[in-house]
Amino acid sequence: MATRTQPNIIITGTPGVGKTTHCEMLAQNTGLKHLSVNDVVKERECHEGWDEEFKSWIVDEDKLLDSIEDEVKEGGCIIDWHACDLFPKSWIDLVVVLRVGSEKLYDRLKARNYPEAKLQENLDSEIMEVLLQEARDSYDEEIVIELRSDTTEEMEANVERIEAWVKQWRKDNSNKSEES
């Protein structure tokens, strides 16, 4: 595989933690591509139909991976999704798990009119640190970071921190791409 000149980042966490907002800001500030898995699933039909109870698409993970593989292998993607364990380790340089307090999360999900079962499942997932553990189990410890996203100030600080990481990654990897 050719050496990538741009990093790939996963921004993950329970729905309502601010993934999309973080990704949009990072894409704007770094020039990386915001790859919203929800949009890919809908637009490229990487699903097996609609789940009426949870009001969401049933993702076909194989179709999804096939659909984004070439883009991600090129590098420069910020992957925005509530799961991370399906993406091959070789594709990913940084995994950011966003976290929010349960009261704040409840308010955000309620404002989205989530069905009660979906709301409760997501709250339980956040309280039990399911996505954080999934990231830690799926990727090397040194590339997984946990960041709080309860306030606008925390979100802005997170974006700055990730931007600094991108800048350092580019610097550290610029020689590698020249050598290939």
User: What pLDDT score was predicted for residue 154?
Assistant: 98
Determine whether the annotation assigns residue 19 to a binding site. Answer: yes
- The pTM score is 0.94
| Residue 95: strand, helix, or coil | strand
For residues 44 and 51, what is the distance between their CA atoms, to the nearest angstrom?
18
Alpha carbons 119 and 130: distance in angstroms, whole number: 15
Per-residue pLDDT of the chain (180 residues; tens, 9 = 90+): 458 999 999 999 999 999 999 999 999 999 999 999 999 999 999 999 999 988 889 999 999 999 999 999 999 999 999 999 999 999 999 999 999 999 999 999 999 999 999 999 999 999 999 999 999 999 999 999 999 999 999 999 999 999 999 999 999 998 765 555
The one-letter amino acid at 38 = N
Q: 4 among the known binding-site residues?
A: no
Token pair in block for residue 22: 């973080």
Which pLDDT value is given to residue 175?
72
Q: Is 171 annotated as a binding residue?
A: no
What is the CB neighbour count within 10 angstroms for residue 103?
10
For 81-129, strand residue ranges (E) read 94-99
> What are the sequence ranges of the domains in the chain?
9-37+75-170
Q: Would the annotation count 18 as a binding residue? A: yes
Residue 44 labelled as part of a binding site: no
CA distance 44 to 46: 6
- Asked if residue 99 belongs to a known ligand binding site, the reply is no
Residues sharing a CB contact under 8 Å with residue 21, sequence separation 6 or more, in sequence order:
155
pLDDT at 174: 87
Among all chains, which residue has been given the structure tokens 């490229």? Answer: 44
**Cβ-contact 97, 134 below 8 angstroms:** no
pLDDT of residue 179: 54
CATH topology of domain 9-37+75-170: Rossmann fold (3.40.50)
